[in-house]
Structure 1
Amino acid sequence: MANVLILGANGQIAKLAEKQLLNETDHHLTLFLRNSKRLSISDPSREKVIDGDATDVKDIVAALDGIDIVYANLAGRNIEEEAKAVLAAMDQTGVKRLIWISTLGIYDEVPGNFGKWNHQQLDGGYLEPYAAAAKVIESSGLDYTIIRPAWLSNDDIVSYETTQKGEPFKGTKVSRKSIADFVVHLINDPSAQVRHSVGINQPNTDGDKPSFM
């Protein structure tokens, strides 16, 4: 049993991971988000909700009490600032294991026409802060795993394959359920993919852009 802090707990992937963790494990979950009234818990014996700001080191430090693993499901143009705050708080408290959701394309690793299309969609304010945040995480002494999903779908499917940093990205899309499943796998096996940056996609989805676009 591990004590897991979920930052950005109101996100779609975070909610799927929360549900799977409650159904399949005995882990205890601390759900961290702005305006905690937006989120209700289903198992008070294993869950608690904390209202906090992921750019505020003091808020994160308070939430890290007794925590073994941090799963950061954060987003937005200020994600580099959030990464710096998470890193500072984990350094202060000695918590080492971090699972960090990023995005595809931060290393210019997406090949071909899909890579060009991905740049057209994400350059100019989205891809740049995610790349900067990943550099913050990778320069730390944390036991991190960075997850770089393909374009996200709400398909009711768990099907994925992975690539590593330095390898060409595969596929164009992946389901949020698949990302949640991979997060749960890492929480259940904290030694897996340590200090790796992992691309993740649904197999056999190659193309010039995701099928739903």
Structure 2
Amino acid sequence: MTKVLILGAHGKIARLAENQLLTKTDHQLTLFLRHANRLDVSDAARETVVEGDATDQASLEKAMQGQDIVYANLGNHDIEKQAKTVVAAMKASGVKRLIWISTLGIYDEVPGKYGQWNHQMLDGGYLETYSAAAKVIEASGLDYTLVRPAWLSNKDIVSYETTQKGEPFKGTEVSRKSIADFVVSLINDPTKEIGHSVGVDQPGTDGDKPSFY
């Protein structure tokens, strides 16, 4: 049994990962989010809900007590500040393993016309802040895994392939269900992909932009 702290627990990928963890593992989950009343607990014996802000180090440190893994499903314009606060709280709490959801394009690793389209869609504040947050995680000294999904769909499919930092990104899209499955695989084997930044896409989705654009 592993104790997992999920930051940003109301997010779509986080909810999918939560459901899979409850269904297929015996892990204990702590669900951390800003507005606790937005979340219904599925299994009160295995889930604890904590209301807090990921830029509040004291709240994070309290939630991290006794945890084995932190899975951060955070976002918005505060992502760099969130990264700094999460890293500081983990170091203060003695928790080493971090799974951090980022985005594709933070290393300018998306090739061709798709890369140009991705810049057009995400430049101007989004890619820059996610790139800055990733640098914080990579310099943290923690046992981190950065996850860089392709453009996300709600398709009911689990199908994905991965690339590593320094390799060209592959497909244009991936399902949220696939990202959740990848996160769960890292939780189930915390020794996988330590110190790696992993691109995740659905095989066979190469093109100039995702199919839903």
Q: Same fold (TM over 0.5)?
A: yes
Q: How do 1:150-169 residues align onto structure 2 when only pairs under 5 Å count?
A: 150-169=150-169
Q: Does 1:108 align with 2:112?
A: no
Name the structure 2 match of 1:26. 26
Output the CA distance in 2 between the equivalents of 1:22 and 1:114.
37
Name the structure 1 match of 2:73. 73
Output the CA distance in 2 between the equivalents of 1:38 and 1:154.
20
Report the count of equivalent residues.
Answer: 213
SS of corresponding position for 2:98: strand
Matched residue type, 2:72: A
SS of corresponding position for 2:146: strand
Output the CA distance in 1 between the equivalents of 2:56 and 2:64.
13
Q: Output one character per residue of 1:18-63: Cα deviation in whole Å (capped at 9) or x when no partner.
A: 0000000000000000010110101000001000000010010000
Structure 1 runs, 4 residues or longer, greater than 4 Å off: none
Matched residue type, 2:169: F
Q: Does 1:189 align with 2:189?
A: yes
Q: Output one character per residue of 1:41-92: Cα deviation in whole Å (capped at 9) or x when no partner.
A: 0100000100000001001000001100000000101100000000000010
Output the CA distance in 1 between the equivalents of 2:18 and 2:35.
18
Instruction: Give the TM-score normalised by the residue count of structure 2.
Output: 1.00
Name the structure 2 match of 1:62. 62
Output the CA distance in 2 between the equivalents of 1:35 and 1:73.
15
Matched residue type, 1:6: I
Name the structure 2 match of 1:10. 10
Instruction: Give the TM-score normalised by the residue count of structure 1.
Output: 1.00
Matched residue type, 1:23: T
Long gaps (5+) in structure 1: none
Long gaps (5+) in structure 2: none
Q: CA RMSD in A?
A: 0.3
SS of corresponding position for 1:166: coil
Output the CA distance in 2 between the equivalents of 1:109 and 1:61.
34
Output the CA distance in 1 between the equivalents of 2:87 and 2:173.
29
Output the CA distance in 1 between the equivalents of 2:38 and 2:204.
37
